[in-house]
Amino acid sequence: MGIEVAVEGLTMSFGKQTIWQDVSLTLPAGEVSVMLGPSGTGKTVFLKSLIGLLKPQRGRVLINGVDMVNSPARDIYETRKVFGLMFQDGALFGSMSVFDNIAFPLREHTRKKESEIRRIVMERIEVVGLLGAEGKLPGEISGGMRKRAGLARALVLDPQIILCDEPDSGLDPVRTAYLSQLLIDLNARTDATMLIVTHNLDIAARVPDNIGMLFRRELVTFGPREVLLTSEEPAVAQFLDGRREGPIGMSEEKDAASLAAEGVAPADAGPRPIVPQLEPSEGLPARRAVTRRRERVMGMIDTLPPSARRAIERTHATAPTLPLPSAGTGTFGSGA
């Protein structure tokens, strides 16, 4: 099962420029979360701060009792081993084959025999749909295939926390749909905690259990998917509806004069529909996160905005009761 990630009062600056401040949230163990936000709001910086690649000025990131901001370097280094990181561009070594790129973490961080490394790598290659491409160089495959190779590499050490930085960047809608299903299937197989940074509203609507949004150097909201998808907060509504009217400008937030010049806000189109969440592919186990999330959300429903409560009640009224599957190994094992 995945690990809970607790973020407390995190503030990040580069020189005098504050990227975001006082960010607090909890990524529930074993659930899929998405972080949205306009370009330049520090989503990738946030992701790198979680793993200790960047050091915020204030706050804590707690993982299994280790603070990834303030703990000794050795403790941070050891804790990084529970992470798998899929970089935005794949970050593959151009002179290595796809196979050797995926095998790299195993050769660097373990003492496994080459036969065992080959078994693990080929298993991950099959999971991401790259069989037949393992001998090719990164320059000989498409951008989408390079992303999947990067995801396979992120999985070889059986991480309990998987971070994906803009996994859909540069992909067409069809490949994005395949990728969305792949991410859900990975969670069903591993029960890992996942955080996806993206601009893509299709991924945000169909994949995660929880959604957050960064804007104006702060975390606007974070919580169950129904909270953000039904939010009436101006920046969130503008982002989800993809319209020009609202506080988000071309390169930064709009000032008061710009907002006033827009005149009356667009008429309310009524409640925003909640798109059904993707389910695992046929033959895979039910996601344990679904049952845990349902229990957690129903326990906090009285504290949520009315629009989110109505959406949750409608969704859960028609959903079957799922038994909590027996705990697996959290790896690819026989289910892969």
Local structure of 204: helix, strand or coil: helix
Alpha carbons 166 and 133: distance in angstroms, whole number:
23
Structure confidence at residue 252 (pLDDT): 56
Mean of per-residue pLDDT scores for the chain = 86
Q: 329 vs 52, which has greater pLDDT?
A: 52
Alpha carbons 228 and 127: distance in angstroms, whole number:
31
Band (pLDDT 50/70/90 cuts) for residue 282 is very high
For the chain, list the domains and their CATH numbers: 5-230+271-318 (3.40.50.300)
Structure confidence at residue 65 (pLDDT): 93
Whether 269 has a pLDDT exceeding 60, the answer reads: no
Q: Can you state the angle between helices 306-318 and 288-300, rounded to 10 degrees? A: 140
* Cα angle value 231/2/151 (rounded, 5°): 85
pTM here is: 0.86
The answer to whether 293 touches 6, Cβ cutoff 8 Å, is no
154 Cβ contact list (under 8 Å, min separation 6): 84, 85, 86, 162, 163, 164
